Amino acid sequence: MKILHLYKDYFPVVGGIENHVKLLAEAQAARGHHVSVLVTSRDHHTRVETINGVRVIFAARLATILSAPISPALFARARAETPEIAHLHFPYPFGEVAHHFCGRARRTILTYHSDIVRQKITRALYRPLMARVLARADRIIATSPNYIASSPVLSRWKEKCVVVPLGIDPAPFENALISSSPLASRPSLLFVGHLRYYKGLDYLLAALRALPHARLVVVGSGPMERAWREYARQLGIAERVRFVGQVRDDELPAYYAACDIFVLPASERSEAFGAVQLEAMAAGKPVVCTELGTGTSFVNVDGETGFVVPARDPHALAAALARLGDDAELRARMGAAGRARVRHEFTSEKMATRVMQVYERVLDA
């Protein structure tokens, strides 16, 4: 099968959607399909590379406006491709419009990763064309049933929606050893993610004031790092919070292995799924996350694999973390349940199989 994925960035750019597209494309290529990915380059030049069996077209980027790469070359490259399946990864308005007007695929699949939440100007300008893009898609993949129910956009198109959760390769996280951890001492809490406004790390820092013996390791970097470092200092907890920055993929499992509890304190709907929870669960760790009406509480089952607490509520976060911190047996039981849930529902192989089944159904139709 000839498959074309379309998004704004690809490896070596790292991000939630970028990682998902890479994982899915490589899994499909490993199954013998002809897989291409059309994205924008980081410069003004177009080039084509083969990365782990995937043909990647980097279309020349003219500029970046409102976080969206602008690439006129994307239209020409979309017109030149003739896949059986074009798989769009929403939201990237420029790419979706390029496919809408120039794409030549037999069928179109769109994975709806997230609403356009903070970019109000983009959302307002794009709304009329977005309706046409969604209407044209043969199927819309949502990553959780929660998102279909809560998204004001997807509720209009729920008849053509199908749920295919994100997946990971659990092996590196299952097999990591605490002894291989780069940390000098075992922290009680771990946060992993880009330090952006919607991650809610400030609420977790505030919760630490009620947990005087807890320590927190923060893995990741981003635009909020300086402000959140300063906030920890203002709260008087800076000596119990360690910002380690970005770490290599091969180092990351050791951080999960070394923690007692994983925390995803996201504060806004921009956190649409929370794939880092899968990594923590694969490592056998209980998770505390927040209820956003998105996939966070679909992945982490309250009372089974961890606790789900109200968003933007440091007191609720502190209470859940204290309960887990005081009960090693509960942590072990929830960690084991999380590992089993990942194996059963959220492996990359299961995700790829489900996506291919969607492709086959629309081609048959």
Name the pLDDT band for 65 (thresholds 50, 70, 90): confident
- Where in the chain does DSSP place strands (E)? 2-6, 34-40, 47-51, 54-59, 63-65, 68-70, 85-90, 107-112, 139-142, 161-163, 189-192, 216-219, 241-245, 261-264, 287-291, 306-310
The percent of residues above 90 in pLDDT, for the chain, comes to 89
pLDDT number for residue 272 = 95
* Stretch among 179-183, 297-301, 315-319, 340-344 having the lowest mean pLDDT: 179-183
The percent of residues above 70 in pLDDT, for the chain, comes to 95
pLDDT number for residue 121 = 67
Whether the predicted pLDDT of 184 surpasses 50: no
The pLDDT of 9-24, averaged and rounded, is: 93
Q: Tell me the pLDDT tens digit for each residue of 86-106.
A: 999 999 999 999 999 999 999
Whether the predicted pLDDT of 198 surpasses 70: yes
Name the pLDDT band for 187 (thresholds 50, 70, 90): low
pLDDT number for residue 124 = 75
What is the rounded distance in angstroms from the CA atom of residue 138 to the CA atom of residue 159? 11
Whether the predicted pLDDT of 185 surpasses 50: no
Whether the predicted pLDDT of 54 surpasses 90: yes
Query: What single-letter amino acid sits at 47?
Result: R
Closest-CA residue to 237 (of 192, 199, 201, 288) = 201
Average pLDDT, the chain: 94
pTM over 0.85: yes
pLDDT number for residue 119 = 67
Closest-CA residue to 205 (of 277, 263, 158, 153) = 263
The pLDDT of 238-264, averaged and rounded, is: 95
Query: What single-letter amino acid sits at 107?
Result: R
pLDDT number for residue 203 = 98
How do 107-112 and 139-142 pair as beta strands?
parallel
Closest-CA residue to 22 (of 60, 66, 59, 52) = 52
72 DSSP 8-state letter: T
Q: Tell me the pLDDT tens digit for each residue of 269-328.
A: 999 999 999 999 999 999 999 999 999 999 999 999 999 999 999 999 999 999 999 999
Six-digit token string for 35: 């897989």
Name the pLDDT band for 263 (thresholds 50, 70, 90): very high
Domain annotation for the chain: domains and CATH numbers: 2-167+347-364 (3.40.50.2000), 171-345 (3.40.50.2000)
The pLDDT of 14-25, averaged and rounded, is: 94
Name the pLDDT band for 180 (thresholds 50, 70, 90): very low
What is the rounded distance in angstroms from the CA atom of residue 141 to the CA atom of residue 357? 12
pLDDT number for residue 234 = 98
The pLDDT of 226-251, averaged and rounded, is: 96
Q: Tell me the pLDDT tens digit for each residue of 118-168.
A: 766 677 778 889 999 999 999 999 999 999 999 999 989 999 999 999 999
Distances (CA, A) of 53 to 2, 18, 198, 286, 322: 13, 16, 34, 36, 47
What DSSP string runs through 182-248?
Answer: S-SS--SEEEES---GGG-HHHHHHHGGG-TT--EEEEB--TTHHHHHHHHHHHT-GGGEEEEE---
12: Cβ–Cβ under 8 A, 6 or more apart, which residues? none
- The answer to whether the CB of 128 falls within 8 A of the CB of 100 is no
The pLDDT of 50-62, averaged and rounded, is: 97
How far out from the chain centre does Cα 289 lie? 14
The pLDDT of 199-217, averaged and rounded, is: 97
Whether the predicted pLDDT of 110 surpasses 80: yes
Name the pLDDT band for 183 (thresholds 50, 70, 90): very low
Six-digit token string for 290: 């927040």
What is the rounded distance in angstroms from the CA atom of residue 160 to the CA atom of residue 192? 33
180 DSSP 8-state letter: G
